Amino acid sequence: MPVSAPQPPAAASQVSAPSPAIKPAQAAAPAAPSSAQPPMAAQALQSAKDKLARLSSTSPAPPEPPKPSEPSSPTTPTEQKLDEDGEPIPATPTPEPTATPKPADAKTAVAATTDKGKKSKWQLLDQFKARALKAEAEALELRSKIGDPATAEAAANRATAAEKRLAELEEHIRYVDYSRSSEFAEKYQKPYEEAWTKAVNDLKELSVTTADGTTRAATAQDLLHLANLPLGEARKLANEVFGDAADDVMAHRRRVKELSEAQEKALIDAKNNSKQWLEQSLSASKKLADEIKQLWTTETAAKEAKYEFLKPKDGDDEWNEILERSTELVESAYASNARDPKLTPEQRAEVIRKHSAVHARARAYGPLRLELKRLRAQLAERDAKLKQYEGSEPTVGNGAPRGIAPTGSGIEGLKSRLASQFR
């Protein structure tokens, strides 16, 4: 018998949509007997009712099923909002009215009722206060780092002087020992060392075939040996020991050799230039020394001609001895240098003592010259007064010239003398 596909039951042929509100199933109440029912069925039904009544009177009543909810009053349908996935958006609950805040809690209440994502004026005030304090702290820190403007200016001046001195020493060492100058190190030594290092690193990846047929790793000595050979011999040896890599090795040899020759040429040129520089320096030094000597001689002669106290005096041995000792002290102090590293501590102390003495005498020159000028003026004034007395004759006790007797005595004599004075 052929097997056919199973057919769906008749009750399932039509499926209705579910009711909007599904309620719990209620207990089915017994149906009232119909007039068309047979007598036997009516008797069975009555018997069942009697039994049920007896059971209800002796046993507790069963729980009453929930009553259906009362249908709500019809309302106007509202449009339901959906999100991006088609799901309904829940309605926003109506906020409950809040109590009016007290004045003391105004700041808290404003912050509590502010919308999410926004800041109240109190929060903004606190935020700006924090920013102001932070900016003030940063300003104080910067001021402490900058320090005193005068100190910063002095440091800048010292740095400028140090840079100038460094440039002078660098220029000097170019002619004294060019190989130790920064120009030589940057321009010649650094490129040579970089090329040598690169060549040695490449050689480490190669192997060398020796005369007995064995191989070994290439070293820096192999490159050095090739660099010191003539070009023909170096090419032949490179082909024998390096094979296919001979061209690479010869390229490194060429680069290293060129930089080495550039170093040697720079040193030779610097040596020749140093001879010219030394001759020019000696000539300039001699010219400067002659100029200083000439100026010194001229100025010293002018001062000795101007000031009498710098000239020796004939017949005054004490004056001449003091003047000679003072001249020796000044010349010895000018010829000594306390910064000379060859001096012993005792010699350096002696040099400083002489410098201090010259310094003290130079400071005292102006005040002593002023005092001498004042004393000479006082002496001239006294000499003038004495000269007036030298031209007059001495008098007797009563004012009359010596050798003239007073006329009369008493009142009469006094009158006579007064009359003679006013004639």
Structural domain contains residue 150:
yes
> Residue 207: in which H helix or E strand, if any?
strand 207-209
Structural domain contains residue 38:
no
Q: What is the rounded distance in angstroms from the CA atom of residue 198 to the CA atom of residue 251?
A: 12
Quick one: 208 and 141 in the same domain?
A: no
Closest CA to 213 of 240, 195, 180: 240
Helix, strand, or coil (residue 391): coil
Quick one: 188 and 270 in the same domain?
A: yes
Structural domain contains residue 8:
no
Q: What is the rounded distance in angstroms from the CA atom of residue 108 to the CA atom of residue 17?
A: 55
Structural domain contains residue 159:
yes
Q: What is the rounded distance in angstroms from the CA atom of residue 253 to the CA atom of residue 218?
A: 14
- For residue 387, pLDDT over 80 is answered with yes
Q: At 159, is the pLDDT very low, low, confident or very high (cuts 50, 70, 90)?
A: confident
Chain position carrying tokens 């480490």: 204
Structural domain contains residue 371:
yes
Quick one: 243 and 193 in the same domain?
A: yes
Quick one: 267 and 189 in the same domain?
A: yes
Quick one: 218 and 147 in the same domain?
A: no
**Domain boundary residue, one of 176, 194, 209:** 176
Q: Where are the alpha helices (DSSP H) in 307-344?
A: 317-335
Quick one: 143 and 204 in the same domain?
A: no
* Number of domains into which the chain is organized: 3
- For residue 65, pLDDT over 50 is answered with no
The pLDDT of residue 423 is 54
Quick one: 257 and 333 in the same domain?
A: no
- For residue 349, pLDDT over 80 is answered with yes
- For residue 5, pLDDT over 80 is answered with no
- For residue 258, pLDDT over 90 is answered with yes
Q: At 86, is the pLDDT very low, low, confident or very high (cuts 50, 70, 90)?
A: low
Structural domain contains residue 291:
no
The pLDDT of residue 3 is 30
Q: What is the rounded distance in angstroms from the CA atom of residue 31 to the CA atom of residue 45?
A: 10
Which of 6-20, 149-163, 196-210 has the weakest average pLDDT?
A: 6-20
Structural domain contains residue 16:
no
Quick one: 148 and 188 in the same domain?
A: no
- For residue 399, pLDDT over 70 is answered with no
Quick one: 236 and 187 in the same domain?
A: yes
Q: Comparing 169 with 409, which gets the higher pLDDT?
A: 169
Which domain range does residue 171 map to? 131-176
Closest CA to 253 of 195, 209, 201: 195
**Domain boundary residue, one of 208, 242, 274:** 274
